[in-house]
Amino acid sequence: MTALGALIRSRIAQTGPITIADYMGECLMHPTHGYYATRDPLGAAGDFITAPEISQMFGELIGLALAQCWQDQGAPERIVLAELGPGRGTLMADALRATRGVPGFHESLSVHFVETSPVLREAQADAVPDATWHDRVDTLPPGPLFLIANEFFDALPIRQFIRDGDAWRERMVGLDGDALQIGLSAPAPLTLVEHRLADTEDGDLVELCPTLPGMISTLSGRIEAEGGAAIIIDYGDWQSLGDTWQALSGHKKTDPLAAPGEADLTAHVDFAEIARHVDPAKYSRLTTQGVFLERLGITPRAQALAKSLTGDALQTHIKAHRRLTHPAEMGELFKVLSIYPATAMPPPGLEP
């Protein structure tokens, strides 16, 4: 049992079973033993790799899409360019490099990161020295907001509910002797998941993120009132159905209860739940990552970069293009949704 596991076990012994969201929150963000508080999880030496670390093309194209969106909205003089959960800062660094030639864009922007991990903040400061950091979305400064959220929402704690007639039973983390185990609450009507009675059957499992509604409502209201756009990229689908909660350690799946604080915990993103809370702004049609990147011109960009490469470097580049776009890899598993003002069009690569 890890040190954090012992603390969680003691808490449950004293106060009873906890929600999966509470468990995830402790595992990921405990100030002393939490996964993100104690390590850089990215890359070959870490537990997972994200699209910006696979190829510079990913960040370049997203940066150019937001710069075009800025121009389409009249090129406002002062904007906030922000990223939620920016990893090592690689995506933002690539976006800034690619947009250096867009007249007036860099002069208009200030870069802001929403990040709570002290370890990752250090890496981000190396990649983007002029950034400003925030713990929460609602402390971002005023002004048109152009925001990126790549693999951010999948790491937010989720709750799991199993339908039982017209009621729901929640999956909880409890104890079996000294070991952590999953159990079920008593069935009860729950307002939180009442809207899912229309599209589920007995025994179906749905996942909900408790912090998502408030965050999306904040972003939506802000973008509608002040302008800008948010591009959200994550793995998941239009609507949650089934158990997608997982733990990753050393690039392999493992038991989420096995080593609290030592593995990354994530769940698929329910994009319908995001869309449900986009008001009064608009949201774009859900699009696969592969289609989105192809519309932005990733293949011509890949071909241009390939001209200066040979040998292993060329093969790595070709594999990176495939990994980002091919349906059998990240191309269909990852989806893209944008939030934009009701009077505007969505960012390039996306449809109303």
Q: Specify whether 335 is located in the same domain as 218.
A: yes
pLDDT at 46: 60
User: What is the β-pairing status of strands 132-134 and 109-114?
Assistant: parallel
pLDDT at 40: 74
Rounded CA-CA distance 2/20 in Å is 18
Q: Specify whether 52 is located in the same domain as 97.
A: yes
Written as one letter, the residue type at 327 is P
The pair of structure tokens assigned to 216 is: 């999306």
Task: Residue 59: give its domain's CATH number.
Answer: 3.40.50.12710
Rounded CA-CA distance 229/210 in Å is 23
pLDDT at 213: 96
Which residues of the chain fall below pLDDT 70? 41, 43-47
Is 296 within a domain? Answer: yes
Strands (E), 100-177: 109-114, 132-134, 145-150, 159-164, 167-176
Q: Specify whether 179 is located in the same domain as 265.
A: no
pLDDT at 44: 54
Q: Specify whether 22 is located in the same domain as 77.
A: no
Task: List beta partners, residue 82.
Answer: 112, 147
| Angle at CA of residue 212, ends 282 and 182, nearest 5° | 145
Q: Specify whether 236 is located in the same domain as 332.
A: yes
Enclosing domain of residue 241? 35-156+209-340
pLDDT in tens, 261-285: 999 999 999 999 999 999 999 999 9
Rounded CA-CA distance 294/120 in Å is 30
pLDDT at 319: 97
Q: Specify whether 330 is located in the same domain as 277.
A: yes
pLDDT in tens, 191-213: 999 999 999 999 999 999 999 99
Q: How many domains would you assign to the chain?
A: 2
Q: Specify whether 263 is located in the same domain as 146.
A: yes
Q: What is the DSSP letter of 259?
A: S
Q: Specify whether 77 is located in the same domain as 220.
A: yes
pLDDT at 1: 79
Is 349 within a domain? Answer: no
Ramachandran angles phi, psi of 41, nearest 5°: -85, 0
Q: What is the DSSP letter of 48?
A: B
